[in-house]
């Protein structure tokens, strides 16, 4: 697992948080746990400069970490609210996963099941975590403040 800190400026974080709120309030994906967007945010918002910058940064940092050329397979927004319910899952068909921890993620990072143990990644706001998508993982329970993340799955770029 790799983490990278200080991805965006404070004003950029606020703008992305506002956009996530808008997306989840108006276009909530009903096939996944509350409150998650559809998984095509890198396509839907490709012309929004700030989000395009974030998506490209996530891609570039993940390519550096894996030493592979990658394509974004899916990307989505998550908000963990008081009534959110998440379960452990994995992303078996993907090569690598990257999560950007936007807000209220300090001491509230993802949970991982490894060798029958549950471990929590202690991450900082405004950081990325890159991890193996086959590891069972989950979003932790709500801890008094809404938690915002942007997630991406990648596949290897075909040569």
pLDDT > 90? residue 126: yes
pLDDT at 50: 95
Mean pLDDT score, 107-122: 89
Taking the CA atoms of residue 6, residue 84, residue 22 and residue 50 in that order, the dihedral angle to the nearest 10 degrees is 20
How far is CA 95 from its chain centroid?
Answer: 15
Please, what is the Cα angle at 88 between 93 and 127, to 5 degrees?
80
Mean pLDDT score, 105-117: 88
pLDDT at 33: 79
pLDDT at 108: 84
């Amino acid at each position: 697992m790799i983490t990278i800190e200080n991805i965006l400026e404070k004003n950029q974080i606020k703008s992305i948080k506002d956009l996530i709120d808008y997306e989840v309030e108006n276009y909530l994906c009903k096939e996944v746990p509350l409150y998650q967007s559809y998984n095509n945010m890198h396509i839907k918002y490709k012309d929004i400069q700030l989000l395009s910058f974030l998506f490209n940064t996530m891609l570039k940092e993940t390519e550096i970490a894996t030493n592979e050329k990658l394509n974004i397979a899916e990307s989505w927004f998550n908000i963990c609210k008081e009534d959110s319910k998440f379960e452990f899952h994995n992303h078996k068909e993907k090569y690598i996963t990257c999560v950007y921890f936007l807000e209220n993620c300090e001491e509230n990072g993802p949970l991982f099941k490894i060798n029958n143990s549950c471990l929590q990644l202690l991450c900082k706001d405004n950081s990325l975590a890159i991890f193996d998508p086959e590891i069972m993982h989950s979003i932790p329970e709500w801890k008094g403040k809404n938690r915002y993340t942007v997630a991406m799955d990648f596949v290897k770029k075909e040569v």
